[in-house]
Structure 1
Amino acid sequence: MAAKPRDRVCLGTIAAAHGVRGEVKIRTFTATPEAIGDYGPLELEDGSRAFAVERRRPAEGGVIAKLAGIDDRNGAESLRGQMLYVPRSRLPEPEEEDEYYLADLIGLQAVRPTGERLGEVVAVENFGAGDLLEIERPGAAATVYVPFTREAVPEVDIAGGKVVVDLFEGLE
């Protein structure tokens, strides 16, 4: 069964307030950090609020942005940790064969090259050293992280609802 595409895609998360005039630091998940404002207003995860990006400038790990309606540090601080989404319909379709929205990987079945089921991709994380697929294994107490590299994940089949994971020794 193929995974259903998500209606919204997370483009970033508000990491911190910046200054006293309502700017925020956004950790972006876009290919180019400044592109976060190119797809229209950014919505909070619960959909309760949306913010146009009035201006942005590059910063380490993302951008410093001024969001419409956030005019002081208190307002900016209140958004710390919030994930920012846009409707998927505003985003272009991936152009390359091996290009994906990370949201599309969540829910895919993880299988060995032999076809044996390993579990389900429940998240894509990046702790600073590259993207990792978090796989929940049936009956296991903990999830396992697999580097999202061509060597570790040689095949991604969004339409088929699976990723092929070539496990390294010690990851089993």
Structure 2
Amino acid sequence: MTNIENYFKVGTIVNTHGIRGEVKIMAITDFAADRFKKGAELQIDTKQGFLPMKVQSSRLHKNMWLVLFEGITNINDIEKYKTHDIYVYGEARQELDDDEYYYDEIIDSRVVDLDGHEIGVVSDIMTTPANDVWTVKREGKPDALIPMIDDVVKNVDVEQHLITIDALEGLLD
């Protein structure tokens, strides 16, 4: 059995495209051009395990990646994988700059204020043109939306899954 902890989701096959076996992939990676380039090795989660696939060709079309995998020659070879997730093996992840994080390093992290008071746990990340916004689930309160900006996020300890923020006035209301 494959250990899923070593794999990271980079997209989902949302549909097929044409009869040659291309698929439409909704990417959830900042490195889509690298992830889906010719020769890239990806894994389809088949629910029975991972199916390794190599990209034969790809192109961006209407905010979706159209990908043809090696060995796939028609729609019948790939249609059964519609709605399945696409993963990359952990060692294939790129090194990030300081103050850049992969989603899985942030999701489920505890959030505290500068005094160490518990605020909640990051449950989701929204990407906006200006900056990412982290959704923080709070006990007995509505979710808080925390912008990933230097004025608010003061420290991210990936190892401890702990994020320290400056809870500016009005941020948690």
CA distances 1:87-110 after superposition (whole Å, capped 9, x unpaired): 21222332x111221211122111
What is the total number of aligned residue pairs between the two structures? 165
Name the residue aligned to 1:84: 86
SS at match of 2:120: strand
Change (3 A) 1:45 1:149: farther
Which sections of structure 1, spanning at least 5 residues, go unmatched?
1-5
Name which one, 1 or 2, has greater alpha-carbon Rg: 2
* Identity rate, percent: 25
- The Cα RMSD (Å) is 2.9
Q: 1:66 Cα shift?
A: 0.5
Q: How far is 1:132 from its partner?
A: 3.0
Say if 2:122 is the partner of 1:118.
no
1:72 corresponds to 2:74: yes
Higher relative contact order (CA 8 A, sep 6+): 1
In structure 2, what is the equivalent of residue 63 of structure 1?
65
CA distance in 1, matches of 2:72, 2:98: 39
Query: Would the aligned equivalents of 1:28 and 1:36 in 2 still touch at CA under 8 Å?
Result: no
Question: Would you say 1:146 and 2:146 are equivalent positions?
Answer: yes
Whether the 8 Å contact between 2:44 and 2:84 is mirrored in structure 1 is no
- Tell me the TM-score normalized by structure 2: 0.75
Letter in 2 for 1:33: A
What residue number does 2:165 align with? 165
Q: Which is worse superposed, 113-122 or 147-156?
A: 147-156
Please, what TM-score do these two structures have when normalized by structure 1? 0.75
8 Å Cα contact 1:33-1:58 kept in structure 2: no
Structure number with the higher strand fraction is 2
